[in-house]
Amino acid sequence: MTAADTIQTLQTEFGSGILYGNADAHDPFVVVEPARLAEVAAFLRDDPRMNFAVLNDVTGVDYLETDPKKLAKAGFEPHLEVVYHVSSFAIPGRRFTFKVTLPRENTPVLPTLCKIWATADWQEREVYDLFGIVFAGHPDLRRILLADDWVGHPLRKDYEYPDEYHGIRCK
């Protein structure tokens, strides 16, 4: 099954739950409606046509242009994105990417995928720690890289690093 076939199958199965797809990208992908994330992920793992048994990684991206001169050319509205890369053991070399876009305001929330892929556990904790995206239902959602009392999420583009932390200079 090609990436285009995968995208078509997802669009057929989930309709408006698949917002967009691009089979010609370097990493072919679909953008998933946040409310349908867990359902789409389970389908990608369980459906024999998909067979994506491996969650390779989960990462966050902050689409915020802080330079007013570059903002006009940015070509996007500010948002956060969570990107998932999956692979198949049954079909060597078969990979796929799915994404979810979230607003930057308030605290963005997605359902955890820990019950679908156990490897999501630490990866979601990293995205939570560095981007502030909450994964509802996660069994142990707490910081994984930064200290428990660290304030903020340092991979957000508008994050302001503290001058010092517990007497240690940060800048």
Q: Which CATH architecture has domain 3-169?
A: 2-Layer Sandwich (3.30)
pLDDT digits 0-9 by tens, 53-82: 999 999 999 999 888 888 777 778 899 999
User: pLDDT tier at 91 (50, 70, 90 boundaries)?
Assistant: confident
pLDDT of res. 56: 97
Per-residue pLDDT at 3 exceeds 90: yes
What is the three-class DSSP state of 81? strand
- What does the H/E/C string look like for 1-49? CCHHHHHHHHHHHHHHHEEEEECCCCCCEEEECHHHHHHHHHHHHHCCC
User: pLDDT tier at 105 (50, 70, 90 boundaries)?
Assistant: confident
Least confident of 61-70, 102-111, 153-162: 61-70
